[in-house]
Amino acid sequence: MSGSMRSAALRAGYRALIRPVLFRSYGADPERIHEAMINLLAQVASSPVARGVDWLVGRANDPVTVAGVRFAGRVGVAAGLDKDGRAAMMWSHLGFGFAELGTVTAEAQPGNPSPRLFRARRSSGLINRMGFNNDGASALASRLAGWGVRRGNGAAGIPLGVSIGKTKLTPIEQAVPDYVRSLETVHGQADYVAVNVSSPNTPGLRTLQRAATIEELLAALVARARELDETPIPVFVKIAPDVSWDELDQLLAAVVGAGAAGVIATNTTLGRTGLVGADRLLASQPGGLSGAPLTRRARQVVARTVDQGLPVIASGGIMTPGDAMAMLDLGAVAVQVYTGFIYSGPGLVAGINHWSRDKTGRS
């Protein structure tokens, strides 16, 4: 079977056979289902089944170097999917070329009260207000170290980035030392850090995207990274889609000025366009919207961001291999998926790998 047929069959099989059962399990509670799947992947990673998954899905084989880090392929795990890195050793088996773990914070925290994750199924979207529930940066660093993961050693089969965010209880004026602490904690294990200033679910976090503030924050992190290692860990920043062009231009100028290595665009949106049918009832749920309703806006932001010359990793509404190709055609160096993976499974990853290899002439 050709690569494109195999990935299409995988996607169709997931949607027809696995997804209906999965979405109804655990009382149809999206968060419990997610937890169960992460636990399952964590267990499978250390079993012979992982090699069977390799065979079925196909590992990434389209290397691209981004800010000095060699990704095995163009499609990565988006932040939030594996917040505590419990499935970190499994992502390479599912065809991913890199994975961004986290967001973790300097202190462990419970996140917002449940329910905090909602499926907008007709619209192929999700609304979440998780609020950085995580075990803390040091738990993640220890877990990875326990598996022998050190920066650059490829122990997970693919590079692992770590997304860092502000601890909720830390006042916004103390954000810089809080982020610096997380960077210090994970720099030995992570291949890059992504500075998350764009989650809509931590009060005040997005104010850090203001040009002067982001420049101070990123400059402090870049400076600390240089002190810590001879080859400093690359510092990426993840931005929101809900910014005006003026704000975006100023933000990007500050990101370049601070010496950041690249941009991840975009996080979830506070907008509610694109919700259809019964999903419109979810519009009043506070939180960030992801998936198909975000595709158009994320593309617009990526198109403007690539003009700055920094490497751009595209995230937002990548639901099909065609959506990923559109981002790569705009000039993104790689893409990340979250909601598309929930709706289409590993076939989406295989499909993106197939088409991106084709495009770069390595098929």
Ligand X SMILES: Cc1cc2nc3c(=O)[nH]c(=O)nc-3n(C[C@H](O)[C@H](O)[C@H](O)COP(=O)(O)O)c2cc1C
> What mask, x for binding ligand X by CB under 6 A, covers residues 328 to 347?
---------xxxx-------
Where in the sequence numbering do the catalytic residues fall?
Answer: 199
- Footprint of ligand X on residues 197-216 (CB under 6 A)? 199
- Answer for which of 87, 130, 312, 325 binds ligand X (CB under 6 A) is 130
Which phi and psi (to 5°) does residue 34 adopt? -60, -45
How many residues lie near ligand X (CB under 6 A)? Answer: 27
Half-sphere exposure of 339 (CA within 13 A, CB side): 28
291: contact with ligand X by CB under 6 A: yes
Half-sphere exposure of 254 (CA within 13 A, CB side): 21
- Coil, strand, or helix at residue 69? strand
Nearer to ligand X, 189 or 339 (CB): 339
- Coil, strand, or helix at residue 334? strand
168 vs 53: CA distance, rounded Å: 38
Nearer to ligand X, 50 or 327 (CB): 327
Nearer to ligand X, 14 or 338 (CB): 338
- Answer for which of 69, 90, 294, 302 binds ligand X (CB under 6 A) is 294
Stretch that binds ligand X, among 76-84, 142-150, 271-279, 299-307 (CB under 6 A): 76-84
Beta strands, E only, the chain = 64-66, 69-71, 75-77, 98-104, 117-120, 125-128, 160-164, 192-196, 235-239, 262-265, 288-291, 312-315, 334-337
317: contact with ligand X by CB under 6 A: yes
- Footprint of ligand X on residues 3-42 (CB under 6 A)? none
162: contact with ligand X by CB under 6 A: no
Question: Tokens in use for 149?
Answer: 């993961």
The site for ligand X (CB under 6 A) is made up of 78-80, 83, 103, 117, 126, 128, 130, 132, 163, 196, 199, 238, 267-268, 290-291, 294, 315-318, 337-340
